[in-house]
Amino acid sequence: MADETTEKVERESRPSPIDVHVGSRIRLRRTLLGMSQERLGEALGLTFQQVQKYERGVNRVGASRLFDLARVLDVPISFFFDDMPEPLAREYGGPAVRRAVGFAEPQEGFDDDTLHRRETLELVRAYYRITDPAVRKRVFDLIKSLAPIDPAG
């Protein structure tokens, strides 16, 4: 009986995999924006330690806080659930449920590591520092034209 109780306490003290995923998406967006944990905390009325706990999944993000995060980070709420690992998404709802609530389908040839590379983050930051929308669109078109042609379409 003591082993069952210890196991239950350990399981309850570990962050939920969904909380960890949401936290990683908060960190990803904050980093893409070049925003510090301190600055995000100030915008939300939190300390950087609280932001840190959200990003690690240690603290669960409530609905109103998720709404505030989406507003401050300028993303739809569904962004925090996009790219959820397939086993986790499957455990919490099938493909129809994922599409209905905004879970992104994984892109072929694109993995989560690509989003976390320094090169990717620097490229995205530089792209969004281009203030003229017409110039930004031309840069976007240039990059697309340099990429290999996708035979699938």
- Please write the tens of the pLDDT for every residue from 70-112: 999 999 998 898 888 878 777 765 443 444 344 444 444 555 5
Which distant-in-sequence residues (6+ apart) come within 8 Å of 67 by Cβ?
Answer: 77
Are both 87 and 68 inside the same structural domain? Answer: yes
* Euclidean distance between CA atoms 75 and 119, whole angstroms: 22
Please check whether residue 82 is in contact with residue 104, taking contact to mean a CB–CB distance below 8 angstroms: yes
Q: Are residues 81 and 43 in the same domain?
A: yes
Residue 112, in any domain of the structure: no
88 within a domain of the structure (yes/no)? yes
- 64 with 92, same domain: the answer is yes
CA angle 44, 47, 17 (to 5 degrees): 80
Residues 92 and 130 in one domain: no
**DSSP 8-state class, residue 81:** G
Global confidence as pTM: 0.60
Total domains present in the chain: 2
Residues 23 and 79 in one domain: yes
Over residues 23-33, mean pLDDT: 92
Is residue 128 one of the residues assigned to a domain? yes
Range(s) of the domain holding residue 53: 2-107
The larger pLDDT score, comparing residue 102 to residue 48, is at 48
Structural domain includes residue 122: yes
How much is the average pLDDT of 55-65? 95
The reply to whether 80 and 61 lie within a common domain is yes
Q: How many C-beta atoms surround the C-beta of residue 30 within 10 A?
A: 19
Do 9 and 52 fall into the same domain? yes
Q: Which of 13-17, 19-23, 32-36, 37-41 has the lowest mean pLDDT?
A: 13-17
Interaxial angle between packed helices 48-56 and 17-32, expressed in degrees from 0 to 180 and rounded to the nearest 10: 120
The per-residue pLDDT for 51 is: 96
